[in-house]
Amino acid sequence: MKVNRFINKAQYKTKPKSIFHTFLLEEGYNRKYLSYDLNLSPATIDKYLEQPECFTVKHIKSISEETGVDANFIINLIYEN
C-alpha cells in the first residue's frame, strides 16, 4: 500500500518562500515527510524552498508522483520566480 505523505493539510505553517513553496502548501505539504521522502534534512528542505532550482530531477519526480501533478508543471513553477 502506497503512503501519501501529503495527506496532512496545514501541519507546517510558514510564509511561502517561493511560488513552488506556495504550491506545496496548497497540496498539503508536510515538511517532515517531504524531508523523509527526498532523503534531505529539514534545514536543506528550507533552503531548497527558498531556492527551488536546487531540487534535482529525482526530487521533482518524487514530488510529482506524490502530488499527482505533471513534472513539467512543477518545473514551470520552480523557474517562474
**Rg over CA atoms, the chain:** 11
pLDDT tens digits along 30-68: 777 788 889 999 889 889 888 899 999 999 999 898 888
User: Do residues 40 and 26 touch, judged by C-beta distance below 8 A?
Assistant: no
pLDDT tens digits along 2-38: 555 555 544 455 677 788 888 888 887 777 778 888 9
How high is the pLDDT of residue 27?
A: 80
Q: Minimal CA–CA distance to 62: which of 38, 29, 33? A: 38
- Residues 31, 81: Cα–Cα separation, whole Å: 21
